[in-house]
Amino acid sequence: MNKKITLLPGDGIGKEIMESAKVVLNTIASEYDHRFSFQEHAIGGDAIDRYGTPLPEDTIQACEDSDAVLLGAVGGPKWDGNPPHLRPEKGLLGIRKKLGLFANLRPVQGFSSLLHASPLKEEVIKGSDILIIRELTGGLYFGRPSERRNDGKEVVDTLAYSRQEMERIIEKGFQSAQIRNKQLTSVDKANVLESSRMWREIVEEKAKEFPDVKVEHLLVDAAAMKLITEPNRFDVIVTENLFGDILSDEASVLTGSLGMLPSASVRTDGVGLYEPVHGSAPDIQGKGIANPLGMILSVALMLRHSFHMEEEATEIEKAVNECLEQGYHTGDLDIKGGQKVGTKEMTQAVIENLTTKS
Ligand code: NAI
Ligand code: MG
């Protein structure tokens, strides 16, 4: 298969882990006879420095013309004092919006060699494998009005959704559950919010189209509790923007390190933006010690969700797991008795596991 990928390394360790992504993609290309062409563009602080804007037109155009986008991270103390329109995050929010990426996918796994690194008990997180799907372009974060009123004595934010916005994200939830373990948890606050009552109705309607998927409804407060007391009970969780923001960060403690977590932001036609969950880590920038695994797992998500290369994606995930089992780890991971390595060595360990496979 021929695929065009736009690379947005961004700032800080974003540039370092993007190199790892390229090595992994080139390996997959030669092992499976695919052709990936890369075009690199600026975003975030890097783009502010070079072009005076966090999201240059060239970058938007390149993303729109490609099959998928891979992003490192944006931000850093250098731009913290900038006015709002010259903030690195503007670039990231802007490109998600421009591409209409309404579904944010965050898989969270309890890797067996990292179980002890989580603050939760090993027996609680063992075997957990959850996909959280968060609505990304609607709800409370975008509703208008959002303003101070009455000389600052009142304030309003608006939680607004159209039926169509709810339908498409809920459908994504069912589709994802169908190709995983066929269990969907819909999270809402239907005992209080009208938006949640409509959400729940739509889930019930959609359930008829996916008779093989088992559906449960959970209130968000109960879901928050069960996520860390019984993570094993979940397969796919689907929820609106605000609830998803909070639950996905909560779930990240299951893995033991921020450096391990991938994410995808996608739309209906399969185009997507893939990035690790962590930021630009200015404290370790340029030292060659950043954990590339969150980025490498994001590459796997890209292959699965944008290119339908399920086998290739699974091979990458297995190779990552094997590296950890062999004891390879970067400084952010606490693996007893293993071998502590840098970004390049960790990437090489993944490549070796990938290539000895076939
Ligand atoms: P951060 O995720 O960059 O770093 C938090 C801590 O985790 C740091 O100690 C860092 O060294 C460590 N860490 C993160 N990723 C790592 C990796 N791959 N390997 C090893 N250690 C890793 O979050 P922080 O420090 O709050 O933010 C730094 C900058 O990144 C800020 O400008 C922030 O706005 C931005 N940011 C960007 C995001 C994005 O591009 N999606 C997401 C979160 C923050
Ligand atoms: Mg968050």
- The Cα 266–Cα 244 span in angstroms is 15
**Annotated binding residue 138:** no
This prediction has a pTM of 0.93
Distance (angstroms) between ligand 1 centre and the Cα of 73 equals 8
- The Cα 114–Cα 122 span in angstroms is 9
**Annotated binding residue 329:** no
pLDDT digits (tens, 9 = 90+) for 24-68: 999 999 999 999 999 999 999 999 999 999 999 999 999 999 999
Distance (angstroms) between ligand 1 centre and the Cα of 109 equals 20
ipTM topping 0.95: yes
Q: Does residue 346's CB lie within 6 angstroms of at least one atom of ligand 1?
A: no
If the chain, 358 residues long, is cut into consecutive pieces of 10 residues, what is the mean pLDDT of each piece? 97 98 98 98 98 98 97 97 94 93 94 84 92 96 93 97 98 95 98 98 98 98 97 97 95 88 94 96 97 98 95 96 93 85 98 84
Atom 42 of ligand 1, residue of closest alpha carbon:
279
- The topology under which CATH files domain 1-102+260-358 is Isopropylmalate Dehydrogenase (3.40.718)
pLDDT digits (tens, 9 = 90+) for 186-231: 999 999 999 999 999 999 999 999 999 999 999 999 999 999 999 9
**Annotated binding residue 233:** no
User: What are the residue numbers of the active site?
Assistant: 141, 189, 221, 245, 249
**Location of structure tokens 């062409």:** 37
Q: Does residue 288's CB lie within 6 angstroms of at least one atom of ligand 1?
A: no
- Of the listed ligands, the closest to the CA of 246 is 2
Structure tokens at 168: 């498409």
CB atoms < 10 A from the CB of 39, how many?
Answer: 15
Contact 55, 45 (CB under 8 A): no
| 109 φ/ψ angles, rounded to the nearest 5 degrees | -125, 145
Determine the atom of ligand 1 nearest the C-alpha atom of 281: 3
Q: Strand 35-40 to strand 2-10: parallel, antiparallel, or no bridges (unpaired)?
A: parallel
What is the residue extent of each domain of the chain? 1-102+260-358, 119-254
The CATH class given to the 119-254 domain equals alpha beta
Q: Does residue 73's CB lie within 6 angstroms of at least one atom of ligand 1?
A: yes
Distance (angstroms) between ligand 1 centre and the Cα of 281 equals 4
Domain 1-102+260-358 shares a fold with domain 119-254: yes
